[in-house]
Structure 1
Amino acid sequence: MSDQSSEPLLLNRKKASKSLDETIERCIGEFGWAQLLQSILVSLSWVFDAQQTFISVFTDTPAVSEWSLQRGVSSILTGLPASSFFIGCLIGGLVLSTLADTKLGRKNMLVLSCLIMSLAGTITSISTNIWMYSFFRLLSGFGRATIGTCALVLSTELVGNQWRGQVGIIGFVCFTVGFLSLPMIAYVNKESSWRVLYLWTCVPTILYSILVHLFVHESPRWLYVRGNKEEFVLTLKSITTRSSLTLSFFGSFFEFEDQEHNNSEESTMSLYSAIKMLIEKNWAFRRLISVMLVGFGIGMVYYGMPLGVGNLPFNLYLSVTLNALSELPASMVTFFLIGKLTRKKSLLGFAMLSGICSIGCVIVKSDYLKELQMGLELFSFFSACTCFNVLLIYTVELFPTCVRNSAVSMVRQALVLGGSFSPMLVAFGRENRWLSYGVFGICIAICGLFVLCLPETKGRTLSDTMDEEEYKESVLVC
């Protein structure tokens, strides 16, 4: 009897939730100038993210040489600074990831992350030995861990379903710009100390953090989930052309939510409750593990390829520039095809291509074919970049608002975990390329197969609660 009486309440709850989601979609679905400017300002953080991620290509070797460590030093010690950065990213992801879903929100977490990364990078410029240098690289990675996650989630939650994929690409393009700016800044300052490169890239990040704090709005979806109703309405009014939005406009939805607030598992979210929900729900845990395994393989190639170009018979500045430029067509491919191609087929196809080309770099050994080697390396990196872009957008669509930032952050940690092995593999690969490019190719091909365990999300609307997404999951199964 109790089960029968609870069915209408459950149906009403889903109906009200769906109606509210449709109402929010109508409010932000019409893409305007306010949303465009907000998305661009948020996405600019990817520029500084890219600079600190790949700055080791130009700074680690001069730093090691300055402290007379180049000769007679193991590959492990030579790769310590770059590995420390990725380890810092892992630690930062575990410590900071859920704050954006719980206490701080997307905007404040983005500001905090940028400040930690930039201040640590600035202090890195005064390092006196490899241990101090590696420690501040670790601290910089700790701060950098959640920048891309917060930027992607915040920018996509500010727009409607129709523009979600395109807005996500803005961040990837900004990442390409940041990556591409590195060899240019390094070349201009090639007669200066490696320390100058850190100042050139970190001081602007501090100024950027202030701009975000002053001019960027918080995610309306996050504000709603956290119960900040007045700020939720004010934010919607500031980013939409609908001037008639008021609390009374959403009154019926808020009234229903208040009645159910005590029964909602999202209403009592603590610091790590988002992670707890991801683990407790079987469907969410299965998705998280699968998408993280895919991310691990992609991360190994994505972060490893630019670090390993020094092992190829090509000019370093030219090689890094070509790698950075290959990110641009990857972003464009994602931009134009994200609305047409399915997520699963795209990831699987590009992962296989990346793996094949990476192994090809090992097979083609002759210096007479160095152009072919470089071509295979670039196409492998291009494919990995495309996988990286699609994977993050795919993850945003796989999880609801209440845990989305934590889920995306966990996937980014899987990407970084794969990348953390790259510096050591690159160092070992100087003697045998199978230990670098060979491992890269095999890893991304095998890990890419786990995408087959995930549902397709193309064309679906975003869910806000675990109940909504679980309902969609049950419908798909049926």
Structure 2
Amino acid sequence: MERDGVSPEIEVTVPLELSVEEMIEQSIGRINFTQILQAILVSLPTFFDSQQTFISVFAHAQPTWHCINNTSCTSKSNLCDLPKTNWAWDSVNVHTSIVSEWDLECTSSIFAGMPATSYFVGCLLGGLVLAALGDSSLGRKNLLCISTLVMSLAALASAFSPNIWFYSVFRFLCGVGRAPVAICVLVLLTERVSKRWRAQAAMAGFISFSLGILGLTGIAFLTRGFSWRTLYLWTSVPGIISSVLCYLFLFESPRWLLMQGREKDAMAILRGLGSINSISPSLPKINTEQKLPKTNPFISLKILLSRRWAVKRLLASMLLAFGIGVMYFGMFLGVGNLGFNIYLTSVFNASLSLSSYMLTFLWWIQHCNRRSSLLGFCTLSGATCIIFSVVGKGHLGVVIPLELVSLFCACMAYNLVLMYMVELFPTCVRNSASSLVRQAMILGSVFDPMLVLLGRKSIIYSYGTFGLAMLLCGFLVIWLPETRGKVLCDTMEEQELMDEDGKLSF
């Protein structure tokens, strides 16, 4: 209204310069249906990631056998000491496993474990090569789609392998493709929600991972009388479809877009993810001090390794992750050595893993410190694993409960360390640093297939080693800072300032 012919003064509020964190909190502070759908979509690749990681549990299993036409042959006889004419596989289809199809039952553990080892070596090398691409040229979304597609196509090719050499090559390529999947999913989930919902969003990827193991176990049980190749067909084709769906409908990380200087694209995604009136129509000035040049896809690694505190933090994190990787993957891969039903044990383990994810992200992340929790879980998991490996698989009443306790603690440590890594490093190097830590975890898993095969003679060779690695590496967490309740920094300078203000320097 006008008073005495004079227009009233209108107070104009000029928006202050916003940081990326403030922009995220302002635009998508409240969870909505679109964010839930995006979380489900982005976590879909981990469903197939877990299946390709643990498919060797069933495809490489030692089939059961029986004696024929010879009274000197018994069920306790050493299979390798018997002539081929004195025994036969129980299954009508003798090709239920690569062991029976390619006569691997009496070969060395190195040769028999070559396909599984090739897969984890592929994961290791693929992560080292592809890790930085999610921070630079490709971005989180494109890297996730390409990785899922390569992983699934290589798995499909594995179903048509004529011999163990081709099979090992395809498993290697599958591992290369699979390497960035878990980190891309975790980073995408956590970078597109506010601090309040970060833990719950991350849980979606872990739950999908466990459901993938349950799905794999169900498919393996239903196809147990068929060729192992059928298992690959049922797990690879849906993975190809999921990569296409992600490419068509998945949103890129707005944080990454802002760091690349693509403010308009980031704002469009924030409007799509946020509430209708959550963002002003005008584009505020956003403070992005440290954008990554698009010409060098590995510039994020250079930035990461240029800071002394970051290198020390990275090394400690990688050694910690190495021990957890040896334990976590070894526990799942070694279920056949416990002398219990392999399908039932896999269901128990996957269900336990699923419950650990629910506990971690619905309660533990919000209420408990990262460092003390990791130290406790690593110690308990390693100690119980060593105990039941010494007891031996002849005492199932003792071994199975201790194995479940050890696995549960290993799953909790696995969950916490991945979430911890996201919080330890800023946006400009987060994908690279998290991927390197993840690769250290994969390096630990490279030794698991051979240890599992050695464990068929005595589980102390496998589970004893798993527990010792977990126990020793777990103590390194005391050299890392606590990050509970801290905001996600976007540049190295912001991280250094926060560490200095909070006295979190390494």
TM-score normalised by structure 2 residue count: 0.87
Residue of structure 2 equivalent to 1:149: 183
For residues 62-211 of structure 1, what are the structure 2 equivalents within 5 Å? 62-71=97-106, 73-211=107-245
Contact kept? 1:47, 1:176, Cα under 8 Å:
yes
> In the superposition, relative to structure 1, how do residues 340 and 18 fare at CA in structure 2: closer, same or farther (>3 Å)?
farther
Matched letter for residue 191 of structure 1: G
CA distance in 1, matches of 2:222, 2:335: 20
After TM superposition, give the deviation of residue 210 of structure 1 in Å: 1.0
Residue of structure 2 equivalent to 1:52: 52
Residue of structure 1 equivalent to 2:42: 42
CA distance in 1, matches of 2:155, 2:20: 44
Residue of structure 2 equivalent to 1:253: 286
- Secondary structure, in 3 states, of the residue corresponding to 1:464? coil
For residues 396-435 of structure 1, what are the structure 2 equivalents within 5 Å? 396-435=422-461
Find the partner of 1:273 among 285, 290, 299: 299
Contact kept? 2:392, 2:458, Cα under 8 Å:
no
CA distance in 2, matches of 1:244, 1:190: 53
Matched letter for residue 282 of structure 1: R
**1:418-451, CA deviations, whole angstroms, 9 ceiling, x for partnerless residues?**
1111111111222233321111111101101111
Matched letter for residue 34 of structure 1: T
After TM superposition, give the deviation of residue 245 of structure 1 in Å: 3.4
> In the superposition, relative to structure 1, how do residues 321 and 111 fare at CA in structure 2: closer, same or farther (>3 Å)?
same
CA distance in 1, matches of 2:200, 2:311: 28
After TM superposition, give the deviation of residue 19 of structure 1 in Å: 4.2
- Counting helix residues as a fraction of each chain, which structure ranks higher? 1
CA distance in 2, matches of 1:179, 1:97: 25
Contact kept? 1:58, 1:186, Cα under 8 Å:
yes
Find the partner of 2:484 among 437, 458, 464: 458
**1:316-364, CA deviations, whole angstroms, 9 ceiling, x for partnerless residues?**
1111121111101111220221100001111111111110111012221
**1:381-400, CA deviations, whole angstroms, 9 ceiling, x for partnerless residues?**
11111111111111111111
CA distance in 2, matches of 1:175, 1:166: 15
Residue of structure 1 equivalent to 2:409: 383
Contact kept? 1:266, 1:465, Cα under 8 Å:
no
CA distance in 1, matches of 2:262, 2:393: 63
**1:74-124, CA deviations, whole angstroms, 9 ceiling, x for partnerless residues?**
111111111110000001101111111000100000000000000000000
Alignment of 1:316 with 2:342, yes or no, is yes
- Secondary structure, in 3 states, of the residue corresponding to 2:422? helix
CA distance in 2, matches of 1:189, 1:473: 53
Residue of structure 2 equivalent to 1:327: 353
Matched letter for residue 33 of structure 1: F
Matched letter for residue 77 of structure 1: F
Contact kept? 2:392, 2:459, Cα under 8 Å:
no
CA distance in 2, matches of 1:115, 1:188: 26
| Unaligned stretches of 5+ residues in structure 2 | 1-15, 62-96
CA distance in 2, matches of 1:220, 1:293: 31
After TM superposition, give the deviation of residue 28 of structure 1 in Å: 1.5
> In the superposition, relative to structure 1, how do residues 431 and 191 fare at CA in structure 2: closer, same or farther (>3 Å)?
closer
Find the partner of 1:213 among 238, 247, 255: 247
CA distance in 1, matches of 2:352, 2:364: 17
Alignment of 1:372 with 2:398, yes or no, is yes
Aligned-pair identity (%): 47
Contact kept? 1:101, 1:274, Cα under 8 Å:
yes
CA distance in 1, matches of 2:124, 2:429: 19
After TM superposition, give the deviation of residue 269 of structure 1 in Å: 6.8
Q: Greater CA deviation, 272-281 or 428-437? A: 428-437
Find the partner of 1:358 among 385, 393, 398: 385
- Secondary structure, in 3 states, of the residue corresponding to 2:24? helix
Find the partner of 2:328 among 302, 316, 324: 302
CA distance in 1, matches of 2:330, 2:20: 44
**1:117-158, CA deviations, whole angstroms, 9 ceiling, x for partnerless residues?**
000000000001111111100100000000011011001111
CA distance in 2, matches of 1:366, 1:133: 32
**1:22-81, CA deviations, whole angstroms, 9 ceiling, x for partnerless residues?**
23212121111111111111012111111000000111241121012222x111111111
- Secondary structure, in 3 states, of the residue corresponding to 1:44? helix
Aligned length: 454
CA distance in 2, matches of 1:152, 1:253: 25
Q: Which of these two proteins has the greater Rg computed from alpha carbons?
A: 2
CA distance in 2, matches of 1:322, 1:271: 42
CA distance in 2, matches of 1:20, 1:438: 47
CA distance in 1, matches of 2:393, 2:490: 54
> In the superposition, relative to structure 1, how do residues 366 and 142 fare at CA in structure 2: closer, same or farther (>3 Å)?
closer
Residue of structure 1 equivalent to 2:11: none
After TM superposition, give the deviation of residue 243 of structure 1 in Å: 3.9
Contact kept? 1:229, 1:247, Cα under 8 Å:
no
For residues 338-353 of structure 1, what are the structure 2 equivalents within 5 Å? 338-353=365-380
Matched letter for residue 379 of structure 2: M
> In the superposition, relative to structure 1, how do residues 312 and 39 fare at CA in structure 2: closer, same or farther (>3 Å)?
same
- Secondary structure, in 3 states, of the residue corresponding to 2:334? helix
Contact kept? 1:274, 1:403, Cα under 8 Å:
yes
**1:353-376, CA deviations, whole angstroms, 9 ceiling, x for partnerless residues?**
110111012221262x21221111
> In the superposition, relative to structure 1, how do residues 55 and 268 fare at CA in structure 2: closer, same or farther (>3 Å)?
closer
Contact kept? 2:153, 2:236, Cα under 8 Å:
yes
> In the superposition, relative to structure 1, how do residues 244 and 51 fare at CA in structure 2: closer, same or farther (>3 Å)?
closer
